[in-house]
Amino acid sequence: MSYIVQRQDRFYVVAYDGLDPLTGRERRRWHPVGHDRHEAEQLAARLDRERDATPAAPTGPVTFGEFLTNTWIPHKRRQVRATTAYRYAWFVDRYIQPSVGDILLRRLRADHLDALYDTLATTGGTDGNGRAPKTILEVHAVIRAALDHAVARRLVDRNVARDTRSRRRSPASGVARSWTAAELSTFLTAARGQRLYPALHLAAHTGMRRGEIVGLKWSDLSLAHSRLSVSRTLQNVGGRPVEFAPKTRTSRRSVEIDRATLDELRRWRRQVERDRLPCGPDDWMFCNTTGRFLNPESISQLFDRIVQRSGLPRVRFHDLRHTHASLLVADGTAIKVVSERLGHAHPAFTMHTYQHLLPGMSGAAAERFATLVATASR
C-alpha cells in the first residue's frame, strides 16, 4: 500500500516496490509530487490500483506493439522515474510501433529487428538522414528489455533481440567535447542579447546540468555567501514539471559562484520583477515569459540556435559542463575541487573523464620540481 509523506511544504508518495533480491528487505520507491496533498492522494491511489491490477489474460495472438503498450510500459512505470518511462514510451511510439508493432509477438524474428535498425540508421531521422548510433542502441536496449520480460512471463521462448547484429554495435567513443576559453567567450558574447542569457551564463560558469539549472528556485541562492544550493532537478513530463532528487547523492551540493555571475543573477531578478513575474523564495529562478516553469528542452534549443549562428564548433548544451571542467583542469585546478563543483560521485571519475588534459600539466610539474631541486642545490 502506498502512503504519503510530507517534508516541509512538499509531499511524496512512498510505494512498496517488492523485496530486494540480495538482502530480502522490502523496497520502497519515493515519488516526489509537489505542494498539493490532493495530487499526492491521487497518485497514491493510482499506484495502488496499478499494483493490485491483474493483467487480463490475452484471448488471442498478441502483437509486439500490444505487448509493449499494454504490458511492458505499465510494468516499467512502476519501476523507473516518470521521465525514464516517458522516454521508453516515446521510443515505442516513434520508432518501434510503426515498424514492427503489427508483428505477432511469437513471430518476431531477429531479421525484423535488424531491418528496423538499418532503417533507423539510413532514413529514420527527422531530416531523412538517419538516427545516431546512440539512439539506435537505446531503441535496441528497449526492445531487448521488453523481450526479456516476455520471456520471464513465458509469452515467448527466446529473446530474439540477443541474436541481432545490432547487439554488437556501440556508439563511437571518445573524449568529451569542449570549447576553448576564447570560443566560450565568443559564445557568451553572441548570447548576450537573449532573454535567458543569465541561465546560459550560469551553466558556463558553474558546469551545472540542464535539469539542475531549470530546477533552481530563488531560495537556493545565497547572496551573502555567493553560493547556489543544488537540491533538485526539473524534468518536463508530458508538459508538466516534475521535480526529482539530483542525479546522485553527491550531486546534491553547494556551488560557489563568482562576482560577475552573482551580478547577472541580481540583474535577472530585477528584470523578472519588472515583468511582474513570480520571484518569491519558492518560485523558479528561470521561468518563461508567462511565469511558468522553463522546459529544459527549450534552453537546449536556444543554445543550438546561438551556436549555429555564431559559427562555433558544434557542441551540445551538456558540453558547457565539459568546457567548464576542461578549462579548470587545464588551468591546474585540483581534480577534487572540479569533482565537487560538478557533483561527480568520485574524483576518480573526473580524473578518467578529463585525463587527456593532464599530460601537459604533468610536464609542467616536472619542470617545477627540477627548478626546486636546482634552486636548493645552489
Per residue in 71-88, pLDDT (tens digit) is: 999 988 888 777 788 889
**149 and 259, same domain (yes or no):** no
**143 and 286, same domain (yes or no):** no
CATH number, domain containing residue 326: 1.10.443.10
237 DSSP β-pair partners: 240
Q: What is the per-residue pLDDT for 22? A: 41
Q: What's the domain count of the chain? A: 3
For the record, the C-alpha cell of 371 comes out as 627548478
Pairwise CA distance, residues 244 & 237, whole Å: 12
**23 and 131, same domain (yes or no):** no
**352 and 222, same domain (yes or no):** yes
Q: Residue 167: pLDDT above 60?
A: no
**199 and 336, same domain (yes or no):** yes
Q: What is the per-residue pLDDT for 173? A: 46
**286 and 138, same domain (yes or no):** no
Q: What is the per-residue pLDDT for 42? A: 85
Q: What is the per-residue pLDDT for 36? A: 83
Q: What is the rounded average pLDDT for all residues in the chain?
A: 85
247 within a domain of the structure (yes/no): yes
377 within a domain of the structure (yes/no): no
48 within a domain of the structure (yes/no): yes
Query: Last residue of some domain: 121, 149, 173?
Result: 173
Query: Last residue of some domain: 173, 194, 217?
Result: 173
6 within a domain of the structure (yes/no): yes
Asked if 119 and 128 count as a contact pair (C-beta separation under 8 A), the reply is no
Asked if 207 and 341 count as a contact pair (C-beta separation under 8 A), the reply is yes
**34 and 87, same domain (yes or no):** no
Q: What mean pLDDT is predicted for residues 259-280? A: 96
Domain that holds residue 2: 1-53
Query: Which residue, among 293, 270, 271, has the nearest Cα to 283 in the 3D structure?
Result: 293
Amino acid at 11: F
For the record, the C-alpha cell of 138 comes out as 537505446
Q: What mean pLDDT is predicted for residues 24-40? A: 75
Radius of gyration over alpha carbons of the chain, in Å? 25
Confidence of residue 242 (pLDDT cuts 50, 70, 90): confident
Q: Residue 5: pLDDT above 90?
A: no
**207 and 320, same domain (yes or no):** yes
**231 and 332, same domain (yes or no):** yes
373 within a domain of the structure (yes/no): no
**122 and 189, same domain (yes or no):** no
Q: What percent of the chain has pLDDT over 70?
A: 86
Asked if 340 and 253 count as a contact pair (C-beta separation under 8 A), the reply is yes
Lowest pLDDT segment from 66-80, 159-173, 182-196, 271-285: 159-173
**268 and 334, same domain (yes or no):** yes
10 Å CB burial of residue 378 (0-12, 13-18, 19+) is exposed
**167 and 204, same domain (yes or no):** no
